[in-house]
């Protein structure tokens, strides 16, 4: 991959707050050579269904047609706010690759325990409609990948190209910035939203 090839990484930070209402999202545009080009932020509702739209809004506000890939950290942000990867790929007109960092048995049991009725059914349906998750090895470390708009081998190559240590760089940068913004909001340095 060429050093100047850009990916948008989107990650969140949520820690218990008094209001408990929102999670901080950050989108970071990072080149394959690890240079950070741009940043945008948004929020999504904790326990809501708006993470996909919040990510699409980050994309629209960035207005970066030079970005080739969208990477997202996980598929269920902010207490089971499940991302619709296909809808995000359509909104961005880019391939979307979701990366998680730990092996798990999935989220169905957690969703079933946390929600009832329509809230449970909606989240389970969204989760079950996600592409299959597969394990890949990058620098001897297991990562777990789902992708829309790229075949498995191509998606794995994108993750490999942007991973310089433990996480793909666009996701590492986005997570760090989201965490700092979230902390500043909790400490009253920044307004809540």
What is residue 2's three-state secondary structure? coil
The pLDDT of residue 187: 87
pLDDT higher than 90, residue 19 = no
Helices (H) then strands (E): counts for the chain: 6, 9
Least confident of 13-22, 48-57, 150-159: 13-22
Q: What is the pLDDT of residue 185?
A: 85
User: What is the band of 30 on the pLDDT scale with cuts at 50, 70, 90?
Assistant: very high
Q: Which residue has the tokens 């998750």?
A: 133
Give percent of the chain with pLDDT exceeding 90. Answer: 85
Higher confidence at residue 192 or residue 123?
123
pLDDT in tens, 53-105: 999 999 999 999 999 999 999 999 999 999 999 999 999 999 999 999 999 99
Q: Band of the pLDDT at 193, cuts 50, 70, 90?
A: low
Which distant-in-sequence residues (6+ apart) come within 8 Å of 40 by Cβ? 26, 27, 58, 61, 62
Looking at residue 16, its pLDDT comes to 65
Q: Give the pTM.
A: 0.95
pLDDT > 70: percent of the chain: 97
pLDDT score for 14: 85
Greater pLDDT, 185 or 82 = 82
Q: What is the pLDDT of residues 103-132, one digit of tens each?
A: 999 999 999 999 999 999 999 999 999 999
Q: 142: pLDDT confidence band, cut at 50, 70 and 90?
A: very high
Please give the Cα distance from 3 to 163 (Å, whole number): 13
* DSSP line for 16-45: --SS--EEEEEEEEEETTS-EEEEEEEEEE
């Amino acid at each position: 991959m060429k050093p100047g090839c850009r990916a948008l990484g989107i990650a969140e930070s949520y820690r218990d707050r008094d209001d408990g209402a929102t999670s901080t999202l950050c989108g970071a545009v990072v080149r394959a050579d690890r240079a950070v080009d741009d940043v945008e932020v948004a929020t999504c509702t904790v326990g809501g269904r708006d993470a996909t739209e919040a990510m699409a809004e980050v994309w629209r506000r960035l207005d970066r047609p030079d970005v080739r890939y969208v990477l997202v950290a996980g598929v269920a942000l902010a207490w089971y706010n499940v991302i619709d990867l296909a809808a995000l790929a359509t909104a961005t007109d880019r391939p979307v690759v979701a990366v998680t960092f730990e092996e798990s048995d999935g989220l169905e049991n957690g969703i079933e325990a946390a929600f009832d009725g329509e809230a449970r059914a909606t989240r389970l349906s969204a989760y079950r409609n996600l592409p299959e998750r597969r394990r890949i090895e990058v620098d001897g470390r297991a990562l777990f990948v789902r992708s829309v708009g790229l075949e498995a081998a191509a998606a794995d190559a994108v993750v490999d190209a942007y991973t310089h240590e433990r996480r793909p760089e666009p996701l590492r940068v986005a997570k760090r910035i989201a965490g700092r913004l979230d902390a500043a909001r909790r400490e009253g340095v920044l307004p809540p939203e």
